[in-house]
Structure 1
Amino acid sequence: MDTSQLSSSKSRNGDIYKEKATINQYLIISHQRDTTHVDTTLSIYKDYKFNYLRKDNFNLIAFSNIGQTYNSLSKEFGNNAILPLFGARARHFNYMEVDDIHYYYVPTPFTELFFKTAFQQGQVLDAFFSVNTSPQFNFSIAYKGLRSLGNYQHILTSTGNFRLTTNYHTKNNRYSLMAHIVTQDLLNQENGGIKDEDIENFQSGDEDFIDRAVFDPQFENAENILRGKRFYLDHKYDIIKPSDSTANGVTVGQTINFEDKYYEFYQSTNNDFFGDAFVGTILDRTTLENFYNRFYFDYNNSVLGNFQFNFDYNNYNYGYDSVTVLNDITLPNRIKGNTIALGAKFSKKFGKLNIAGEILANITGDFDGTMLIADATYIINDDFTVNTSLKLNSSAPNYNYLLYKSDYINYNWDNINSFENINTRHFVFDLKSSSLVNITLDYTNIDNYTAFINTVDGIKPFQSSEQISYLKIKLGKEIKYGSFALDNTILYQNVLSGDGILNVPEFISRNTLYYSNHFFKKALFLQTGVTLNYFTAYNMDAYDPLLAEFYIQNDTEIGNFPRLDFFINAKIRQTRIFLKAEHLNAAFTGYNYFSAPNYPYRDFAIRFGLVWDFFL
C-alpha cells in the first residue's frame, strides 16, 4: 500500500501543530461493516477497473457506446434474494445497489475525481467528497455523470448516479448508524442495431462504411430509461458490549430500505420491428415500490461464536396504472402484497478456520422463498487460502417474467400463476495462492431456469422443464521477471445439461504483458503494456431494447475475435493517469466483432483519463 504521509492539523493550547495521518486511516466501510482503506497505488488491477462501471469487467463485453448495456460472457447465480427482482436487467449494470454503496471514516477531508473520455461529444466524471465533522460523524457526497453521443446513429447515453452517505457512532460506541440516499437515472437512446442487410457491409471493411454514422439502424425514434431512488438506514445498539470482563455481547438493530424505481420505453411512432401495436405512440412504464424492514438480534460469545436472528417485513407494489384486455382475457395491472420472513446467521473462528452460515425463509405472503448459505475459509499460511461455499436458493422469477404490459401487442403476458420458483444449487471452491495459482471452481444446478426466448409471436418469457447444470473453472496467475510481468486469467465453461438454453463461450481469456518501473527519483511510476482479450464463438444472447433484456438465440454464432489494447499508465503522487489505445487490431484482424447479434463491438479508439485523490 502507499505509505505516503498526509497532513492534518489540530489545535493544542492555542497553537497549531501538524499531525501526520497515514493512508490506512482513511477507511472504507461496507454495508456489512467490513473495513478496507483508501488505496492510491497503481497496479494492473486498477487498469482493469478503470472503466465506466469501475469494476473488473472480465466476463462482460461492452456495446459500442459507453453507458449502453453489456453482454455477459458467463452467467452468475449468486443471488440471495427470496423475492422477485425488478426487470430491465440490461439496464442494471450501472444501477448502484445497496452492496455498491460504501461509508467512510477520514481523519482529514478526502476527495476523489474520476474522469474518462467517451465517444463523440462526451465524457464520464465521478466526483466524490468525504469529511468527518467529528470522530463520531462522517458524511460523503458523490455524483457520477455520463454523456456520450456514440459513433452510430441514435445511441446517445446520458446517466447520473447521486449518492449521499453518513455514518455515526456515540462516544461510547454503543449506538451506531449507517444511512444513504441514492437517486439514479440511466437514459439510452435505442436503435435496434444495424439491419441484417448491413452486416455484410460492416464486415467487409469497405471505406464507405468505416464512418459508422452512415448505417441506417432498425429505427431512430426510441429510448428507454431506468430511474430509481433509495433511502437506506441500518442502526444498532449494544445492550451488552463485549469487554475484557465479559465474554458475551448482545446487540439489537434495525435495517430499513425503501426503494422506488421505474422503467420506461418510449417510441414516437410504432415500428414493425416489435410487431403490431395498440396505438401509434408507444409509452410503456413499469414501476416498483418496495419497503423492506429488518429487525435483528445479535448474540456474540467468545466461545460459542456469533449468532444473529432476523425478522424481515417486505411490502411490494409492482405493475402498471391501467388494465389490458387481450383476446378477451383481462391482464391484472398489479402484483402487490406483503411477506414476512424469519432468518438466522452464525459465524465462528476456530484458529485458522472461519465458518459461517445463513438461513432465510418467507413464512407468510404470496411468494414462497428460501435461502441457505454455508461457507468455510481456511488460511493454510500467508500464501494459501481455501474457501468453499454452498448456496441453496428458491425464489420466484423476476417481476417482468410474471407480468408485463406494453402498447405492443406481443409484449403482454400474465404468468403469475403458471411459473414455478427457480431452484438454484450453487457450489464454489476457491484456492488463492500468489506463488502458485488462483483457482475457482463454480458449479450450478438449476430447476425451472427462466429466460426470454424468441418465438413466432415475438420475445416471450420461457421456463425450462430441463434441469440446467453449469460448470466454470477460472485460473489466474501473474508471472513476474524483473520489471516485466504477465498477468493471465482464463475461464473454462461447460453447460453439462441444458445446452441451447444456457449459452456461454467455452473459453474466455485475458492476458496482459506489461512493464513497470519508477523514474525521476521515484517521482513517477509507469506501467505500459498490451492486453489481449478473447472468447470462443458461441450462440451469444440477443438484445431486446423494449424489455431491456437479453434473450436466447441459437441461429448466430459470435466470438472468436481478439481484442488487443495498448496502454500507458502513470502515477504521480496521488494521481493515476490512464492512456489506452483500445481494440487497436480492429482493422487488420477483420470486422467480424459484435457485442450481440446486429450490435457491432467498438472500433479502434484512443481514450484517456485519470483518478485524482487528494487530502486536505
Structure 2
Amino acid sequence: MNFKRYILTFFGLLISEVLLAQFSTSGFGTGTQSTNNFPQGKTTEKAKSPTGRAGVDDSTKVIYGPTSTKYFLEEDVFNNRKKLYTIDTTIGEGHNFNFVQRYRNMYQDLGNIGTAIRPIFFQAPEQIGTMLGYDAYSLYAFKPNQVRYFNTRSPFTNLVYVTGGNTQDLLQFEFSRNVDSLWNFSVNLQRIVTNKQLVTSSTSTNKNALGHWDFMLHTNYQTKNRKYQLLAYANLSDHNSNDEGGVLPQGRTYDLILQQGNNTAILNNAATRDKFYNLHLYHEYVGYKAFQVYQVLDYQTRKVQFRDPDYIANWTNGFYPIAYDTLGKGSRYTTNAAVTGKMKLDSLYNESQYSIFEHKSGIKGFYRGFNYRLHLRQRFFGFTNPLYNYSISRNENFLGVWLNQYFKDSTRAFAELEYLLTGSDFKLNVEFQGKWLTIGGKAMSTSPTLVQQVTFNDGFRWDKNTTAFVTDRGISNNMQTYHAYASASPKFGKLTLRPSVDINLINSYIYYDTLSFVKQATEDIAIFRAGLGFEFRKGAFSTISQLYLTTTTGPDLIRIPKIFANSRLAFDLLYKKKLFIQTGLELHYKSNYYADAYMPAIQQFHLQDKQMINGYLQADAFADMRINRVRLFFKFANVAQGILGNGYYAAPGFLGMGRTFGFGLQWLLFD
C-alpha cells in the first residue's frame, strides 16, 4: 500500500512539472535534426556547461514539436541500425485500445480488457531453455523491444486515458526529459481496471474484475565520444484478477444464456495475483565498427498465486476436475507456517516463486552491409513450489551466432543459431527480405516449462521425476517445431496485395487436456495457413482487409478457426482546416471452433469439448479525431448486436463485450 502511495505521489509531481512547463513556455514547432542525432529546437540562448556536455535550458523560450522529439529502440542499437523514430501523430488506431483489437484480433481473451489472453494461431516459444510457463497476462506487461528511449531537450509527455464502456478504464502515462545532451531519464505508467461482466452471488460484494499496474523507470546514456552506450530500465508489474470461471449454465444452453441474460458466474471469490520485478540493462563499447563488445543483463523475481475459498463447492459443480484429499483435516502438504496460514480448510491455494538472473555477452560488428554477432548466454534460475516443499536451482549455458547481409537494392538476408550446451534445445532461423517478397524458416527444440514439469495443489498435481501421482506425470521431453513462411506485397496503382502462406510442423506437442492436466502428443501435428490481405486508397476513402484460411492434420489438439477475417472501411475528413477526422467501420469474423477454455488455478488455457464458439460478425463503428496535438476517439462497439445476433462468446463460458460506447483521449506535450 505504501509503495502505491509513493507511485501516485511521484506521478502527481510529474504532472505538476508538466503543467508548470506549459505555463512557462508556449507554442509548437518543427525542429531540425543535428549531425549528432540530437533533436534541435529554436532557442534564444544556448546553455553551456564546463564539462562540455550541453545542458537543458528551461529559462529561454523553446519551440518543439513531434518531428523534433526523437526516440530509438534497443533492438536497433543491438543490430547496429542507427535509426530514430518521430512521434506518431496520425489518426486511425486510437480506438483499438483493447489488446485483442490492438493485435488485429489475433488473440483470444475472456471478454474484458486485461483478462487472461492467448494467441488464436499457434506460436512457437520465443526462447529456448527452461521458462516459467505462466503467460496468461504477459502481453500486458512492458517488454524490452517496446521501450522507447528518448533523446530530447524539451520535456515530452504522452498521456492516454480511455473509458471503454462497461467500466473498462485504461490509463497510460509517459514522461521523458534529458538531464543533458548525453543522458535521458523517462517514466512509464500503465493502469488497467475493469468490473465483472457476470453476476456473482448475493454474498459477494466485490465487483472488480481486475486491476493491473505497470510502472517503469528507464534511462539511456552515451559518452561524448560515442564509444560507450547504456540503456536500462526497472519495471514493476502487478496483476490482480478476481476470476469468474465463466457462466454457470444452470440447465440452460449457452445460446439460451445469450438470449435470456441473467449470466451467473461459476466462481464468486476466486482470485489471482501475478507480480514481478524486472531489472534490464544493455550496454556496448564500440572500439571499431567491425569489432564491438556488448552485454545484456536481466534480473527478475516473480510470485504467482491463486486462491479459491469455495473449492469444494466448485469441485462439486464440476469446474475443478479432481479433489485429491479429504479436506477438513488441517494442514496439508507442507510444514511452512507462512504457507499453511493461506491454506484455509475447504479452499484451493496455489503458489509459485521464481527468480532469474541472465546475461548475454558477446561481440558484434558491421562492415559494408555485413553484420555479425557472437554471444554466450547464461541463465541462473530458481523455482519453488512451497506447498510441495519443492525447490530447484539451475543454470543453463547457450552459444549463439547471428549473421546479416544488406544488399545495394535494400534487400537483406539473415540467419541465426542458438544452442543449449547442456541439453537438446536449439533455435535456427533464416530469412530473406526483398523489396516485395519475404521468405523464411525456423526450427526449434524447446524444453517444457517449469509449470509443465512440476505442479502441485489440491486440484492439479504432476511431477516429471515421480510416478506418485496416478493421474498424470509431468513432461520432460522437448517439443520440436518447424515453421516455413512466405509473404509478398505487390502494388498495382492504389491497390496493394499481401498474399502469404505459413506451414507449421509440431512434434511432441505439449498441451493441457480437457481436465486441464498436462499431456504430450505422440503424433505429429501439421498446420497449413493461407492468407490474402489487401489495401486500397482513393481520395478520402480507404479499406484494409485480411483473410486467413487454416487447416490442420494429425490429432485434434490445436483448435484454430478455419476462417479468420478482418476488414476496415474508413473515410478521412478535414473540418475548417483544423480538425482531422477518420470515421468508419471495423469488421471481424471467426468461423465456428472449440476454442480453448481457461483454468485460473494453474493460469493455463486447455482443451474443451463442451461449447462450440459460434461464428459471429463483430462490427465496431469509430471516429478518430486530431486537433493540434490532441487526439480523440469515439467508439460504438458491437454495433450489430440485436441485428446479426444476440451477442457472442469471446471464450468458452465468457461472453464477449456487448454493445458499448467508448471514449478516449491522447494528449502530446512537447515543452
User: TM-score band, normalised by the shorter chain?
Assistant: 0.7 to 0.9
For 1:91, which of 137, 150, 166 is the aligned residue? 137
Residue 356 of structure 1 corresponds to: 414
For 2:215, which of 162, 166, 169 is the aligned residue? 162
| Alignment partners' CA distance in 1, 2:612 and 2:304 | 30
What's the offset of the Cα at 1:571? 0.7
Q: 1:569-609, CA deviations, whole angstroms, 9 ceiling, x for partnerless residues?
A: 11111211111110011222223511122111111110111
Change (3 A) 1:147 1:48: closer
Change (3 A) 1:606 1:43: same
8 Å CA contact 2:114, 2:137 repeated in 1 = no
Change (3 A) 1:414 1:178: same
Amino acid aligned to 2:509: Y
For 2:89, which of 34, 41, 66 is the aligned residue? 41
8 Å CA contact 1:145, 1:160 repeated in 2 = yes
What's the offset of the Cα at 1:63? 2.4
What's the offset of the Cα at 1:370? 0.8
For 2:111, which of 38, 46, 64 is the aligned residue? 64
What's the offset of the Cα at 1:94? 0.9
Between stretches 550-559 and 309-318, larger displacement belongs to 550-559
8 Å CA contact 1:64, 1:150 repeated in 2 = no
Residue 43 of structure 2 corresponds to: 9
8 Å CA contact 2:308, 2:348 repeated in 1 = yes
Residue 468 of structure 2 corresponds to: none
| Alignment partners' CA distance in 2, 1:356 and 1:439 | 22
| Alignment partners' CA distance in 1, 2:251 and 2:276 | 37
Residue 393 of structure 1 pairs with residue 444 of structure 2? yes
Residue 513 of structure 1 corresponds to: 569
Residue 569 of structure 1 corresponds to: 624
What's the offset of the Cα at 1:557? 1.8
Describe how 1:131-530 pairs up with structure 2 within 5 A.
131-153=177-199, 156-197=209-250, 199-200=252-253, 203=256, 209-210=260-261, 214-240=262-288, 242=289, 249-270=290-311, 271-272=314-315, 273-274=319-320, 275-276=322-323, 278=325, 279-302=345-368, 305-323=370-388, 333-352=390-409, 353-364=411-422, 367-379=423-435, 385-408=436-459, 411-415=460-464, 418-434=475-491, 435-454=495-514, 458-495=515-552, 497-520=553-576, 522-530=577-585
| Alignment partners' CA distance in 1, 2:291 and 2:236 | 35
| Alignment partners' CA distance in 2, 1:91 and 1:205 | 27
8 Å CA contact 1:59, 1:508 repeated in 2 = no
8 Å CA contact 1:514, 1:529 repeated in 2 = yes
Change (3 A) 1:464 1:52: closer
| Alignment partners' CA distance in 1, 2:47 and 2:164 | 52
Change (3 A) 1:197 1:323: closer
Q: 1:416-461, CA deviations, whole angstroms, 9 ceiling, x for partnerless residues?
A: 575311111112212234543122322211111111111xxx3201
For 2:661, which of 602, 606, 609 is the aligned residue? 606
Change (3 A) 1:418 1:503: closer
| Alignment partners' CA distance in 1, 2:101 and 2:445 | 31
What's the offset of the Cα at 1:470? 1.1
8 Å CA contact 2:30, 2:67 repeated in 1 = no
| Alignment partners' CA distance in 2, 1:290 and 1:192 | 31
Change (3 A) 1:199 1:610: farther
Unaligned runs of 5+ in 1: 243-248, 325-332, 380-384
8 Å CA contact 2:29, 2:63 repeated in 1 = no
Change (3 A) 1:472 1:4: farther
SS of the residue aligned with 2:513?
A: strand
| Alignment partners' CA distance in 2, 1:450 and 1:289 | 24
Root mean square deviation, CA, Å: 2.5
Between stretches 537-546 and 193-202, larger displacement belongs to 193-202
SS of the residue aligned with 2:104?
A: coil
What's the offset of the Cα at 1:120? 4.5
For 1:542, which of 597, 615, 637 is the aligned residue? 597
**Identity fraction in percent:** 19
8 Å CA contact 1:568, 1:579 repeated in 2 = yes
Residue 69 of structure 2 corresponds to: 26
| Alignment partners' CA distance in 1, 2:643 and 2:575 | 35
Residue 100 of structure 1 corresponds to: 146
Amino acid aligned to 1:525: F
Unaligned runs of 5+ in 2: 1-27, 32-40, 49-56, 200-206, 326-344, 466-473
Residue 585 of structure 1 pairs with residue 631 of structure 2? no
Between stretches 509-518 and 65-74, larger displacement belongs to 65-74
Residue 51 of structure 1 pairs with residue 98 of structure 2? yes
Change (3 A) 1:467 1:335: farther
Residue 246 of structure 1 corresponds to: none
8 Å CA contact 2:496, 2:535 repeated in 1 = no
Amino acid aligned to 1:358: E
Amino acid aligned to 2:276: G
Change (3 A) 1:203 1:60: farther
TM-score by length of 2: 0.81
8 Å CA contact 2:234, 2:280 repeated in 1 = yes
Residue 114 of structure 1 corresponds to: 160
What's the offset of the Cα at 1:396? 0.6
Aligned residues: 577
SS of the residue aligned with 1:63?
A: coil
Amino acid aligned to 1:414: D
8 Å CA contact 1:66, 1:157 repeated in 2 = no
Q: 1:80-112, CA deviations, whole angstroms, 9 ceiling, x for partnerless residues?
A: 411132223222221333333332222421111
Between stretches 119-128 and 392-401, larger displacement belongs to 119-128
What's the offset of the Cα at 1:204? 5.7
Amino acid aligned to 1:388: I
| Alignment partners' CA distance in 1, 2:666 and 2:247 | 35
8 Å CA contact 2:566, 2:587 repeated in 1 = yes
| Alignment partners' CA distance in 2, 1:560 and 1:9 | 59
Structure with a larger share of its residues in strand: 1
Between stretches 539-548 and 431-440, larger displacement belongs to 431-440
Change (3 A) 1:118 1:579: closer
| Alignment partners' CA distance in 2, 1:550 and 1:543 | 4
Amino acid aligned to 1:307: Y
TM-score by length of 1: 0.88
8 Å CA contact 1:113, 1:613 repeated in 2 = yes
Q: 1:184-220, CA deviations, whole angstroms, 9 ceiling, x for partnerless residues?
A: 01111012111123653763655xx44xxx4332120
Amino acid aligned to 1:487: I
8 Å CA contact 1:83, 1:395 repeated in 2 = yes
What's the offset of the Cα at 1:228? 0.9
For 2:587, which of 524, 532, 550 is the aligned residue? 532
